[in-house]
Structure 1
């Protein structure tokens, strides 16, 4: 994703794996003396704490976590045990602790056994260029854009996203809808999902489009955005869909969707793993006339300037205007 780094931004490559990067990061802190260090996402947050413990590295440190740890670590007992054993030691060593949703903050506090009041919540900054006329990959556009109902999902092809439930939901849709699902993203489950699509006879209704950098063009052409995740933190894709004025159907997973969709006021929430409920919600969303201005207004609540003010305020720069 280096191509998405803004022009003029400085990129420093530490040249190490995550496990061995702490000394290189410490050397950078000694040399550059930055105003603050914001470390995002475990295990980088823990590495930053280790680096800041080394001599000559005293800069304000803000740790930012992006997932619901309780749900995310359920299938990883070793990481869960490590968090329980060391979380209480690691997180208090930062100057500030942040999660990207209230649900993620509740989860971190419980799992790491730290005071919930010591964790700030700052929503991720999200923006989406208005580009309804941007080009899409022609092989996908020809197949998908002409469908009566165009379903869109964006995310890595991993177990967390539970695309199996999404495929089962598409299989349950009435064929008269003419719905086609396009999933943008790549990941280790690609071959398995391609096999599942073929086995379910969905080859003419579902495509895996790979990573597409111009996703705003797909949001602009979609009829309904669909998410079937088992857990999240604050799923950016839902906010991007709202900014584009796109109706959203999502599982009510921990955590983020309910916060983003205001408890279901600006989108439809369904139980996790329930393909029938997901299919029913997709049918209803496709048939309804969306209030696109309401959707866009909710999306604007996540404008980058608001998050920037909050992050600066955490280290005593600017005002904390919420």
Structure 2
């Protein structure tokens, strides 16, 4: 069977990395001649504007907006649309959407389901909890035919939680086709530190503020946090308490990230955990050094030398502030060394790899249904 039609399953158009990369892949698959259908539970979110031309969008009616239990209903609600569209493969864009698979498998037993592992499958657990957690994960994901990890390091990590399950590797499409970063234009005056991410506990922007406060106590600097989310009010209050509000900007979601990267002295990432974070790749592609917490196994391969920045194991603000001091003193132009680390993560290469994985899932489907 030749792959012709791909269904991308989304809860909504939230401004997250999984949604952004799924839409970037969709554009490449459409360009390659495939039909792409995006099935979403609701139209909410700024990524709705980034749906590529040529994609068919099916919004559920009535909608299924995000809530504590909405994922339990979303898979079943998508079944009628999947029956109508009849795709060759269904693509689940990340861990958040794994909950869709069981209901879809029950209704469409022959439909191949491929799912990306976008974050650690399970947190670090005490030994007595690991076996029951693995059993629960196996039950949740049993309907998924193939998993996609975003790097060999992540595939090795995830294999421990999914023993015997097929995990393939595809690079993240962090960089769009013909990506051309703007020339570096680091302004005179206080160095400008950039942080990018949703304002929620995973990203731990409070740590970014505390690290910046330690840095700011020793030298002039500015911090801009791009993104929005439920932690905004708490972070604004913390900025005031730390006495750094005059040097901190939180403009929310913006459309000029490339321009801001071109003027940044470094990127700061303070996440508690990540799968394959897109923002450090975008920063390195723009020749911006990165200071990050040790939140993903892939980071040490990306940030390979002191010229790239630092991966900081110690989450104390003072330690991050020291790393920031070193990063903002680095040359603003690395002679292509930093961009070379980001080069493999292009949308065309990632899209081609995913098409190979979809073909494999289609070939495996008859064996699963026997």
Asked whether the two chains share a fold, i.e. TM above 0.5, the reply is yes
For structure 1, list consecutive stretches of 5 or more residues without a partner in the other structure. Answer: 134-143, 318-322
State the partner residue of 1:310: 353
- Retained in 2: the 8 A contact 1:246–1:292? no
Q: Choose from 225, 228, 238 the match for 1:196.
A: 238
Which has the larger displacement, 85-94 or 293-302? Answer: 85-94
Distance in 2, matches of 1:259 and 1:150, equals: 25
How many residues in Structure 1 have an aligned counterpart in Structure 2? 299
Distance in 2, matches of 1:168 and 1:23, equals: 44
- Retained in 2: the 8 A contact 1:69–1:104? no
Helix, strand or coil at the partner of 1:313: helix
Report the CA distance between 1:81 and its aligned residue: 9.2
Helix, strand or coil at the partner of 1:173: helix
- Retained in 2: the 8 A contact 1:147–1:180? no
State the partner residue of 1:61: 113
Judged with a 3 Å threshold, the aligned counterparts in structure 2 of structure 1 residues 200 and 176 are, in CA distance, closer, same or farther, namely: closer
Report the CA distance between 1:61 and its aligned residue: 1.2
Distance in 1, matches of 2:102 and 2:163, equals: 16
State the partner residue of 1:243: 285
Deviations 1:8-27 (A, max 9, x none): 32211123343212233222
State the partner residue of 1:95: 145
Helix, strand or coil at the partner of 1:197: helix
Report the CA distance between 1:29 and its aligned residue: 2.4
State the partner residue of 1:295: 338
Helix, strand or coil at the partner of 2:348: helix
State the partner residue of 2:57: 11
Report the CA distance between 1:221 and its aligned residue: 1.4
* TM-score, normalised by the number of residues in structure 2: 0.73
Give the 4+ runs in structure 1 shifted more than 6 A.
none
Helix, strand or coil at the partner of 2:114: strand
State the partner residue of 1:122: 170
Distance in 1, matches of 2:132 and 2:82, equals: 27
Report the CA distance between 1:192 and its aligned residue: 0.8
1:26-41 maps to which residues of 2 (within 5 A)? 26-41=79-94
Judged with a 3 Å threshold, the aligned counterparts in structure 2 of structure 1 residues 292 and 200 are, in CA distance, closer, same or farther, namely: farther
- Retained in 1: the 8 A contact 2:182–2:286? no
Distance in 2, matches of 1:266 and 1:132, equals: 18
Helix, strand or coil at the partner of 2:138: helix
Report the CA distance between 1:65 and its aligned residue: 1.6
Report the CA distance between 1:125 and its aligned residue: 0.6
Helix, strand or coil at the partner of 2:276: coil
- Retained in 2: the 8 A contact 1:243–1:299? yes
For structure 2, list consecutive stretches of 5 or more residues without a partner in the other structure. Answer: 1-46, 65-69, 361-370
